[in-house]
Structure 1
Amino acid sequence: MPAPAGATSVHGLTAFLVFSGLIRLGVCQPHQAAPAVYMIGDSLVDVGNNNYLPLSIAKANFPHNGVDYPAGKPTGRFSNGQNAADFLAKKMGLPTSPPFLSLTGGATPPITGVSFASGGAGILNGTGELLVKQSIPLAQQVDYFALVRDQLVQQLGPAAAQTHLSKSLFAIVIGSNDLFAYFTIGSIVSNQFNPQQYVDLMTSTFRNLLKTLYGMGARKVMVAGVGEIGCCPVQRKLNKTGECNVELNYWSAKYNDGLKIMLESLKSDSPGMNYAYFDTYGAMANLFQKPDTYGFMEIKEACCGLGNLNADVPCIPISRFCSNRKKYVFWDLYHPTEAVSSMFSDLLYSGSQEYTFPMNVKQLLDI
């Protein structure tokens, strides 16, 4: 006998609950490349954590940031629109992972991932304080992930949580701020270490924290190397000819060399772990050498700012900003435009071994 109108059979209710649970776990969404993306890093992938840090001077939750974001809304992204975290999630068939600090009142973290990235953050604990007064350093981001993992275990059970994490992507974009902190005029850390000792300290600290993530279930890790950061507008403006800071670029490349060796070593010590390394430095160098090939015309000046190369003042409401943003490499004195973030996300997700090795992110997720 059919159930009365508006009633639900026990079997129907059970099937609905099971189906809902499968959707929540991503089982019924075959287009997803992974069940979740856990984003760790700095302002290049911050989607709003710094909005919740009262002391931080690294914020982007005001115009003209977000002018090309849906509804022209500033969100805390250091960009005219979306950043690499958004584009990567989209390629994976997932929503952008929300800022960890936005999950207030004991809210359950979404099963599709969480972002811990913070503007000004570094691999070393003191970096953010030196540069921006307050950020979430890498060690703290890992600690925050531990809290999310605990909730996953409660929600799914230990075995299912481990399976979920082993298939998820841990995307890490960090290191630039540590180098900026070292090569800033009057730097405290440059009195404590020579440059080689410093990049070695960055690498060893990073290795220990990656090992901690591995111990908590991370098996698929994407790590972006540091870019050609001596070529950002705030560095170029220090040179009368507008050229790049050669020393900063040299040590960025040296750090990347150590990072690649470290990742290979870590994989050999960590059964079941695989990684994709993105050569941000090489991708940037190629872009600077032939910008018109990729549709860009301005590689030195920031789109949004004031003064020399638009880099004397950050992108704030009184700044001017360019109308042809897709032609600019830099949005502000440090950060790329949405167009560059999109281009680099394409490379790291499905690019050739010229910039992603030993595999790209798509290949990593297929393992």
Structure 2
Amino acid sequence: MAFNNVSRAVAMSFFLLIPVISFKYSKAQMVPALFVFGDSLVDVGNNNYLPFSIAKADFPNNGIDYPARIPTGRFSNGKVIADFLAEKVGLPTSPPYLSFLSNNNKRPFLTGVNFASGASGILNSTGQSLGMVIPLTKQVDYYASVHKDLLEKLGSSGAQNYLSKSLFAIDTGSNDVLSYSDSSDLREKSTPQQYVGLMIRTLKSQMKRLYIYGARKFLIPGVASVGCAPSRRIENRAGECNEELNALSIKYNEGLKSMLLKLKSKLKDINYSYFDAYSFTQNIIQKPAAYGFSEVKAACCGLGRLNADVPCIPISTYCSNRSNHVFWDIVHPTEATARLVVNTIFDGPSRYSFPINIKQLIAV
């Protein structure tokens, strides 16, 4: 017994000698870090590092409005939602996680990291037809490794303090909705309600994992009106939205809002901002001039009807004024749309962000 007490004392002394890096951030930073999970709406280049994936945007004409006018793996003419969100909270854009794994770089995770992967979804099966993608479950696995690294840098109490003030953005679900609509096999196996239920249960389990690893402040956008994307409008002669697909988005969003309320009632110390992406995008489509847009149906980059018969590839043409188009390609928003979305997410009205917006979430 005496030997055990001595051992404990020695171990404790050794532990106290371990250097712990404290985190400090400037007044310009509203949060210590931004951790991003999701799909191509927030992917800043992770898919560039997936060797067996065709879901990539590392080629022209992508990036023509990005600094240096080069493609970076962002599915946009310029910056994406993740970039603007980082700017709003006074941080550099969270770098793609896979860039550290592939290059054996040091891991400066103290301002956050981005795990998002184009074509991925909440469910592991989503996007597999396009080769390698990083589903949400795997993204959270990667975050678990980052959490371990942060514990080593900051110590247990330091890491918890840091993470409790950080922002966790999860922008996903669109590809799951699209996959269900496009797959007769999925529709035969489950009803829309059953499929949506599986999406919500899976997302909830991953949020609970993030909670265990220190996450306390969440940004959770709902699914936008994906049935109004150019790729869906060309499915009918009139170029109208696919309302069946939109109805599935609404069904998912309703379930998501209910799940978040219940999760908050059980995990008292979490806070979240739900962004009603569906209502917001519908409002833009119905009243484009009020938001500075003139084209809501056609893609800026592509070929054929509504520039959507052929996706945005190097041989595609693209519009000269990207700022008046809602859509950059057959499914993704322009930089102008992404900027507008983040401005609304950050300090917009309760009509779109509830129970609180991001500015209020940060202040909690």
| TM-score of Structure 1 vs Structure 2, range by shorter chain | over 0.9
Please give the secondary structure, in 2, of the residue aligned with 1:114.
Answer: strand
**Which residue identity lines up with residue 240 of structure 1 in the other structure?**
R
**Which residue identity lines up with residue 158 of structure 2 in the other structure?**
A
Q: May I ask how many residue pairs the two structures share in their alignment? A: 342
- Deviation, 1:295, is 1.0
1:158 to 156, 159, 170: 156
Residues 61-140 of structure 1 aligned to structure 2 (within 5 Å): 61-104=58-101, 105=104, 107-130=106-129, 132-140=130-138
- Deviation, 1:248, is 0.3
Is the CA contact (8 Å cut-off) linking 2:221 and 2:275 kept in structure 1? Answer: yes
**Which residue identity lines up with residue 127 of structure 2 in the other structure?**
G
- Deviation, 1:106, is 5.5
- Deviation, 1:343, is 0.2
Residue of structure 1 in register with 2:171 after alignment = 173
Instruction: Determine whether 1:146 maps to 2:109.
Output: no
Please give the secondary structure, in 1, of the residue aligned with 2:254.
Answer: helix
- Deviation, 1:309, is 1.0
- Deviation, 1:54, is 1.2
Please give the secondary structure, in 2, of the residue aligned with 1:183.
Answer: helix
Is the CA contact (8 Å cut-off) linking 2:109 and 2:146 kept in structure 1? Answer: no
Instruction: Find the aligned partners of 1:123 and 1:288 in 2 and give their Cα distance.
Output: 26
Residue of structure 2 in register with 1:282 after alignment = 279
**Which residue identity lines up with residue 243 of structure 1 in the other structure?**
E
Residue of structure 2 in register with 1:272 after alignment = 269
Task: Please list every run of 5 or more consecutive structure 1 residues that lacks an aligned counterpart in the other structure.
Answer: 1-20
**Which residue identity lines up with residue 238 of structure 1 in the other structure?**
E
Instruction: Find the aligned partners of 2:113 and 2:24 in 1 and give their Cα distance.
Output: 15
**Which residue identity lines up with residue 48 of structure 2 in the other structure?**
N
- Deviation, 1:187, is 3.5
When normalised by structure 2's length, the TM-score is 0.92
- Deviation, 1:239, is 1.0
Give CA deviations for 1:165-217 in whole Å, capped at 9, x if unaligned. 11000001000000110001x43212211111001110111111111111111
- Deviation, 1:56, is 1.2
**Which residue identity lines up with residue 251 of structure 2 in the other structure?**
K
Instruction: Find the aligned partners of 1:160 and 1:97 in 2 and give their Cα distance.
Output: 21
Residue of structure 2 in register with 1:310 after alignment = 307
Is the CA contact (8 Å cut-off) linking 2:172 and 2:223 kept in structure 1? Answer: yes
Instruction: Determine whether 1:354 maps to 2:351.
Output: yes
Is the CA contact (8 Å cut-off) linking 1:103 and 1:109 kept in structure 2? Answer: no
Aligned-residue CA RMSD in angstroms? 1.0
Instruction: Find the aligned partners of 1:177 and 1:73 in 2 and give their Cα distance.
Output: 26
Please give the secondary structure, in 1, of the residue aligned with 2:58.
Answer: coil
